[in-house]
Chains A and B, each alone.
Chain A
């Protein structure tokens, strides 16, 4: 029974990992940008929400509704102002720029909020749970996070397959230069891709901040989970990303059953195993 509980808890947290990973995967798929600041952006979203809640006294759900679109806008601007310039100089330049961004964000947060550990108070919703049976209890927040992750992934999938801009994003992922020659403005398309990535990472950061404590330095560890979920699932496939997140979550959760110290190591080992034996991932996807 404990095993079942571990699997279910792992599955639920896998949704959160997938949410972290979706934006990373999208930015790589469309622009070949590996965004090393991805995890830090999630932390920025958490601190921003914290500041808004304590500064304005608005309810958390409203703050979430404000933060996510703000991040989308921020993403669009970041692409147009910061990343676009480095794109023409090759992949190394974008790596360096996002690495620099990561450091800057961490230090700005440290300066503004100190190194104290914080939590985002989600009230009874964040702590409440219901019992499935004697051994398995499911937290409302965990379940909501998982469902939200699935909804966001379905949303992105629909956007990519059904809308004109979404098709253009996929076209750009296939062939950047030709995408310009059929009339697509690459800067705008990349801006949209980054906006979606930022919005999803903001959602992930907020959900994460409600369930765990956070401080300015935890971004990179979130980035690792996102990376692992993307690689395990298969690059460029959104459903692969969800599966990757779930596999990572379940592995960590099962590892914790054996010994709590094994939690992260178990996840890393599965990641390494996939890299070694199935480098294309579990569901090798099309690009974006």
Chain B
């Protein structure tokens, strides 16, 4: 099957710091891919390059066979790439409903009733329906993270990029989010998920990639990737970081 997303020989550096070093990575349609790696491995930069916030210095990015390397962010969203931010960025003065509605209008190009229906559907599924008329600025962290997912869904994506949606949440909250994400996946959406809360990832993804120094160091079955000596060394070498503990726990 032709890949949904294909990054080929992507290179990006900021001065001396290299966030992507000749990286090649593919995501198949409907695949759920987890991405782990120590801080500074280039995970967030990778998302920024896929969603259009950053332009790679070299290499090409293809989505659904189309070259989107130089496309504007809104064009990529309309093409079917939805994303969330690690630190939620809701439109604070818009209600929760409006936050998702603009995604339906602008991202999915829906009009009138269709946009409203889609918005209600997304809010139902993300558990935000009771908060539909609340200004997004008043939401707590879990709700903000949910709203990030809801907005990404609202744009009518075929691929969703999740950037640490479980970070900072309590255990039951993480489980709730995992349920939402798994449901998206079962419906055939492609998912790329960056996460430090590794056990949330392992529950959801079918494949895992470990990044370090802007390149792929391991790629395959999640449990095997986490057991890989190179990956273990990276995490243990990374010091007392959130990911280290959780990765170790999963392996035990």
Contacts and interface: CB of A to CB of B under 8 A. Distances in A.
A32 interface: no
A182 B89 contact: no
A174 B93 CA distance: 7
28 contacts: A164-B102, A164-B106, A164-B115, A167-B101, A168-B102, A170-B94, A171-B94, A171-B99, A173-B93, A177-B73, A178-B91, A179-B102, A180-B52, A181-B51, A182-B103, A182-B107, A182-B151, A182-B155, A183-B77, A183-B78, A183-B103, A183-B107, A183-B108, A183-B155, A184-B74, A185-B74, A185-B106, A287-B93
A181 B74 contact: yes
A113 to B, nearest CB: 41
Range for the number of chain A residues in contact with chain B = 20 to 34
B196 interface: no
Interface string B85-114: 100010111100011011101111101000
Contacts of B175: none
Interface of A: 164, 167-168, 170-171, 173-175, 177-186, 286-287
Nearest first, the 7 closest Cβ-Cβ pairs linking A and B are A183-B107, A183-B106, A183-B77, A164-B105, A174-B91, A184-B106, A180-B73
B106 A168 contact: yes
A181 B79 CA distance: 12
Contacts of B222: none
B38 to A, nearest CB: 26
A182 B106 contact: yes
Interface residues of B, number: 30
Contacts of B102: 164, 167-168, 171, 179, 182, 184
Interface of B: 51-53, 72-74, 77-78, 83, 85, 89, 91-94, 98-99, 101-103, 105-109, 111, 115, 151, 154-155
Nearest to B77: A183
A264 to B, nearest CB: 35
Contact of B73 (A170, A174, A181, A286): A181
Contacts of A178: 85, 89, 91
Nearest to B106: A183
Given A170-B98, A175-B89, A182-B103, 18 more contacts: A164-B102, A164-B106, A167-B94, A167-B98, A167-B101, A168-B105, A170-B91, A171-B91, A171-B102, A174-B94, A175-B91, A180-B74, A181-B83, A182-B102, A182-B154, A183-B105, A183-B107, A186-B74
Contacts of B78: 183
Nearest to A175: B89
A174 B99 CA distance: 11
Contacts of A287: 93
B109 to A, nearest CB: 8
B92 A174 contact: yes
A179 B52 CA distance: 13
A192 to B, nearest CB: 13
A262 to B, nearest CB: 39
Contacts of B93: 170, 173-174, 286-287
Given A183-B106, A184-B102, A177 B53 contact: yes
Contacts of B85: 178
A128 to B, nearest CB: 43
Interface centre among B52, B72, B77, B106 (most CB of A within 10 A): B106
Contacts of B73: 177, 180-181
A265 to B, nearest CB: 36
A186 B91 CA distance: 15
Contacts of B94: 167, 170-171, 174
A181 B109 CA distance: 14
B217 to A, nearest CB: 29
A183 B153 CA distance: 12
A164 B99 CA distance: 11
Given A167-B101, A168-B105, A168-B106, A183 B74 contact: yes
